[in-house]
Structures are given as structure tokens and as C-alpha cells.
A and B are shown apart, each in its own frame.
Chain A
Amino acid sequence: MSSPSSILDMLSISPPGWGGVLITGAFATLFISFGAYLFGMVLGLFGALGKLSGFAPLQYALNVYTTIVRAVPELILIVSLYYAGTDGLNRILAMAGLGPVEVNGLVAAIAVLGFVQGAYMTEVLRGAILAIPVGQLEAAKSFGMRPGLRFRRIVLPALIPNALPGFANLWMSVIKDSALIAVVGYQELALAARVAASNTKQYMVFFLAAAALYLVITILSNLLFSALEAYFRRGQRPVA
């Protein structure tokens, strides 16, 4: 064990200290998570609309997607998609007569995590859309709103409060899942902490520091989501 002052030295932002590496890692974690979250949300929106479209082959394909992604351990999904994605891309490029590319770790991480998020988002959004009272949609139809306008003016504003609790859970889970990216070697917060810890042999200090950074992120996100939900539920009657 070492004295408190040397621990502070090790955590200082500027280079002999490793604080800067950890902070950079935390931003990488936030960036990956946010990118994957947005990508997942887009996938999920199309997935939910597809599942509710009534077109059987599409519904079947989407059911396969959501079931498999939710049944297979995240680590296995991330590792296999990471390799399969890079491999598949290079095969397509080879067929087009181009040489192989080194896939950017950041892009791969966002794509892989986003693909996993998309399956959960599909279910959250499907539930949120189904929870909209049918009468509201019928009223919009009877006013002569076209599907596009109806979606933008009625469905979207009505589904957001229903979907927010699910969105909050998924944001927490993508932050924690992003640590798994460390296993395939992209340096975000978890891997940054590991590098710092193995260089200084102060495992306890650096993993606790990383845990503290994750906690700050999750606690602040919690506050943000409560505020968002209060905002989007304005004017609604409180439940019970």
C-alpha cells in the first residue's frame, strides 16, 4: 500500500500521473455509448415500425433479430460481430476488387454495440407505440392526416413518455456494456484503467478510480433522465 500523496500523484492529469488517460478513456466510453445509443435508436425505430407493419416476412426476420440478440451473451455477440463485421466488409471489398481495410476500432465498437442496442430498442419502442390510445390515432386519421404527418405530430410525441423509462435502462446498460469493448482491445475507460493499473501495479487505486468515473456518469444520467421524463410528462395526469 502507498501513501495518500503518492496516490494523488498517480491520479494527476498531467503525464507522470495517469488521470489524463482515465479522463480520455471516460470520454471515449461516453462517445462510444452515445454513438451506439443513437445508432440503436434508429435501428429500433425501424425495427418497431417493421414489427407493427403487418408484413409477415419482415416481422419474422425482425423476430429472429431481437430474439437472437437478446438470448446470446453480450460478450460473445460483441466478439463475433467484431470479427464477422471486419471480415465481411473485407470480403465485400475484395469482391469489388479493392484491397482489405483496417476497420477503425471506434467505428466497429459503435456499430457492434449499436446493433445489440437496436434489438432492445425495437422492443421498447414497439411497446411504447402499442401503449398509445387507439382513439388518438383514429382521431388523427379522421382529421385526414397522412401517415407521415400522423407519425410526426401524434405518434412520436405520445410515445416518448412511454419509452423514456426503457430508454433510461438501455442507456445505463450501453455504458456498462461498452466496457466489454475493452476485451477486443479498444481503449475506453475500462481498458485505460487496466493499462494504468498494470503499469503502476496499483490495481486497487485505478480500478476504484474507474469505478468512480462510471458512477459519476450513471448517477448524472439518472438525474438527466428523471428531468426528461418530468418534462415529457408535463400536462399528464399523475398515475395514482
Chain B
Amino acid sequence: MDFSWIFEYQDLLLYGAFLTCLLLTISVTLGFALAILLAIAQVGRGSIARWLSKSYCTFFRGTPLLIQLWLIYYGLGSYLPHIPGLRSSFLWPVLREGLFFAALALTLNFAAYQGEILRGAMLAVPKGELEAARAVGMSPWMILRRIWLPRAIRIGLPTFAGEVVLQLKATPIVFSVTVMDLYGAAYKIRQDTLLVYEPLLLVTVFYVSLTFLITQGFQKLENAIPVRR
């Protein structure tokens, strides 16, 4: 085992770790917001919205993330330059980067899985609580904001922790669209130094520690919200 390359590649590794965390944060927060909309659409009354949300979840849960990523990066990416005015707009430096497409693909994918879980959690909220809320005269929007969603999120919390960990484990494939995340850094080190196992071992330790932190964090969060058993 030879780890003498660590200091030489310190900056690359740190930046890679930063990108991995950034991708995880972006996709989990934005994906969660989208998941709320997807779940509401599926438990709501509008049949078109329900059908759209259902098809969205089926597509993103039924195809590999790698295909979605390539579809968005190569497919969507090849159409973007043809949109008039986009090239000269201030958004172009962001839209040109692999990072943007990687974040988009990870977000859309996370939202589909999370939306399905949230839908189940919303259906698991006891009917009596929603009826009580209606009985005290809350508007549907207020019921959603004050009762239905908070209760559903509490019910789904143990599953969310698992989803976030799965999302972390899904991030390394962004290296296939030129994003130098932590795995991308390890890949480059392997190419430069011809060491196969050491860089992989180092980044593995990082992923496993981050997994540990995420599960601990969610455990704290779960304990912080009191529940009656």
C-alpha cells in the first residue's frame, strides 16, 4: 500500500469531496421539494396531475440513473446550444458544465423515489387527524401545511435516511459526464499513478464515513421530534 500521492493530489481530492457533498445537498433539497409536489399530485383529486406524477415516478424509477444522466447530458445538452439567445445569456457558463446536468439528473431521480415514499407516508396519516383539522375549520391549504405534510414527513423520516444514503452512493457515476467529484478524482489519480486500489480505498473510507454521519444525523432528528407511542 502506497499512500505517498495523497499530498500531491490534496487539492483535487478536497475539491472532489466538496463536489460530492454539493451534488448530494442540491439533489436532496431540490429533489425533496419536487417530491412534495409529486406526492400531493398523487393523493389529490386531479386525475391529470395524478397520471402525470405516476408516469414521472414510473419512468425515473424504472430506468437506470446512468441512462437518465446520459439522456440529460448528451441528449438535452445537444439541443441547448440551438435555443436562440441562450448561448449569449448569463446562464450559459452554468449550462455548459457537466455539473449542471449531473445535478439535474440526480435531482429528478431522487424526487421520483422520494415522491413515492412521501405518497405512502401521506396515506398513512390517520384519517381522524385530518378530519379533526377540517372540523376546526382549517382550509385545505392550511391542513396540508400544518397537519398533513408535517405528520407525513415524521412518518417517513426513517425511510428518508435510507434514501439519502442511497443517493450518496449513486453520486459517483457523475464522473462519466466529466464531473470531477471524489470518485472522479480517484479515477484521475489511478490514471496518473497507475495505483488501482489505494485511491479507491481512500474514497471508500470517505463515503462510508459520510454514510455514518448521515445516519447519525437522522437519528438525532428522529429523537428530536417527540412521538406518542
Contact = CB atoms under 8 A, between A and B. Distances in A.
Given A79-B200, A207-B74, A211-B68, A219 B170 contact: no
Interface string B69-102: 0110011111100000000000000000000000
A180 B62 contact: no
Interface string A193-207: 110010001011001
Nearest to B211: A71
Interface residues of B, number: 34
B65 A176 contact: yes
Contacts of B196: 80, 83-84, 87
Given A73-B170, A211-B59, A190 B67 contact: yes
A215 B63 contact: yes
Interface of A is mostly: helix
A178 B62 CA distance: 13
B62 A204 contact: no
Interface in A72-88: 72-76, 79-80, 83-84, 87
B67 A72 contact: no
A182 interface: yes
Interface in A196-240: 197, 201, 203-204, 207-208, 210-211, 214-215, 218-219
A214 B63 contact: yes
A211 B67 contact: yes
Interface in A1-59: 1
Contacts of A214: 62-64, 67
A179 interface: yes
A204 B75 contact: yes
Given A176-B65, A207-B70, A219 B197 contact: no
Contacts of A208: 71, 75
B224 to A, nearest CB: 25
B211 A75 contact: no
Interface of B: 58-59, 61-68, 70-71, 74-79, 168-173, 176, 183, 196-197, 200, 203-204, 207-208, 211
